[in-house]
A and B are shown apart, each in its own frame.
Chain A
């Protein structure tokens, strides 16, 4: 997906997770396999739909405005979403949160086994979404999004509806973020509104910026690096190195997140993996002709 979309997705990610996860709260104490998996699939679908809708509604006020206005709205709606989820008993059980969301593979008996099964399934879902996004970014719709990202005015002058394109980008992106939210809830087996503070969004944002905003592989790389860093900034690791710190170690994580955002933007704005031109049929044809031409000319010079 394009940078524009990913930015928005990242910004909206935090709050959409919290809404999506709310859908999961009814699934308690399930032991029969079809019911467990059915519940899980239903939550995924419901989460995606609700997340997509929420993303559209959240972005609606600023869809027609400049992109930085949209970003402002989305960042603040993340905060608002959390406040509502925190105070409203019905969504994620308020401040107390919700625990005991069962693993969909709980019927396997062994908790380790069901965890492994769950991880494998999460990876499979991620791969599917990755393939879907790759296809999407090469489709006419993906190119439309790219054109909106690169030059709104030009896209508009070609008769493209910029607001609608952005709205769709928000829906698709939010739905995917919501799926991630559902996956996380079933993994953590609980929901707390305060887990989904805008900081989560910014950590995701740093992944996207680090890996390369305008391509899906970059995002995966970024996510891997940040997750690895997360492991390194653990108290046990510091103790291993013989460093004692007087304050909460999570602060270091967020300082590093901020540093990554700033330094990458300053020194390598393209990220680790820069964007490549889209492989449209036209481009492939042009490349072939280019090769033919260069072959011909080289022959001539010989």
Chain B
């Protein structure tokens, strides 16, 4: 049966990019602090709300609003760590308790946001940016939204890659994620770098939320609803691998959009079951390879494929 997959294809590219951005922050904080941060969802939501409020009510241009979203979420992330996670970590709490604490933090932020949104009558909100079609692609249109989101993701990924691999700070961050005690012994100031990690993670999450609010309606629960996809992407990267998370984000994007389109037309499965695909990914990764894409030696595989060895 012929199905028109152009629309799901475009959607999965755009959403995959956004999932990637959101999941990168989660991966960064997990690898530096070992917290599976459930409050990450709220960083995304806050970013979306800041963008929407600034553009709609203050009439700021979108790029400045996105910058503000970056700052707001980064500051929120930093204060979460300083107020809650760092004291717990210093006391030697187990990851499970840090996880539970992050749930608590998430609840507080989410419902304060809910209260504010409800009191001002903005339970659902969308950034007022006109999204225009640029080009026809099959039955779907490539819009300005795609033209913003996909290049922005690529730019941020490249910037982060440069940060992590070509600066001393990035090297130190990677050292902490590999072995914290060793990094500390080597004279790396782990608390200073922890702050950097939270700032980056929160900022990127806020940016992703802001970009999301341009094309879709958001409510205070939106971060929580997306969290499953964020975790699925990050878990595909073993919660620690940078490129693994990026691949994971796109896999989740494509699997959800194209997968549910195919399942819907072939088996008549309700599209409300879309989150099940992400969950199935998590379960599959846990059962088959809990490390995800982390620890795959890409260079080795490539060199094996490319360089043909003489047979003895």
Contacts and interface: CB of A to CB of B under 8 A. Distances in A.
Nearest to A259: B108
B156 interface: no
Interface string B115-132: 100110000000000000
Contacts of B283: 61, 73
Interface in A1-51: 7
B96 A67 contact: yes
Contact of A247 (B84, B88, B119): B119
Dominant SS among interface residues on chain B: helix
Contacts of A77: 279
Contacts of B273: 83-84, 87
Interface stretch (B8-16, B64-72, B98-106): B98-106
A88 to B, nearest CB: 9
A111 interface: no
Interface stretch (A174-182, A249-257, A293-301): A249-257
Nearest to B272: A87
Contacts of B106: 258
Interface string A242-268: 000011100110110111111001100
B168 interface: no
B282 A73 contact: yes
Contacts of B110: 254
A80 B275 contact: yes
Contacts, number: 122
A258 B108 contact: yes
A202 interface: yes
Contact of A62 (B95, B101, B286): B286
A258 B101 CA distance: 8
Interface of B: 36, 38, 84, 87-88, 91, 93-101, 103-112, 114-115, 118-119, 228, 231, 235, 270, 272-273, 275-276, 279, 282-283, 286-287, 290
Given A65-B286, A73-B282, A265 B111 contact: no
A211 to B, nearest CB: 14
Dominant SS among interface residues on chain A: helix
Interface residues of A, number: 41
B97 A269 contact: yes
Contact of A246 (B101, B104, B107, B119): B119
B99 A83 contact: no
A255 B276 contact: no
Contacts of B112: 255
Given A83-B275, A265-B100, A258 B105 contact: yes
Contacts of B114: 247-248, 251, 254
21 contacts: A62-B286, A65-B290, A71-B96, A72-B99, A72-B231, A72-B235, A73-B283, A77-B279, A84-B273, A202-B104, A206-B104, A247-B115, A248-B118, A252-B111, A258-B108, A261-B101, A262-B101, A265-B93, A265-B100, A265-B104, A266-B88
Contacts of A98: none
A110 interface: no
Contacts of B109: 258
A261 B104 contact: yes
A205 B100 CA distance: 9
Given A202-B107, A255-B112, A257-B107, A265 B282 contact: no
Interface string A274-293: 00000000000000000000
B107 A255 contact: yes
A7 B286 contact: no
Contact of A262 (B91, B93, B108, B290): B108
A68 B110 CA distance: 22
A206 B106 CA distance: 13
A262 B39 CA distance: 12
* B38, B231, B272, B286 interface centre (most CB from chain A within 10 Å): B286
Contacts of A67: 94-96
Given A69-B290, A255-B115, A259-B104, A76 B93 contact: no
B104 A262 contact: yes
Given A72-B99, A202-B107, A265-B88, 10 more contacts: A71-B96, A202-B103, A252-B115, A258-B108, A259-B104, A261-B107, A262-B84, A262-B108, A266-B87, A269-B93
Nearest to A68: B95
Interface string A57-90: 0000110011111011101110110011011000
A219 interface: no
Nearest to A86: B272
B2 to A, nearest CB: 27
A259 to B, nearest CB: 6
A76 B282 contact: yes
Contacts of A257: 104, 107
Contacts of B107: 199, 202, 254-255, 257-258, 261
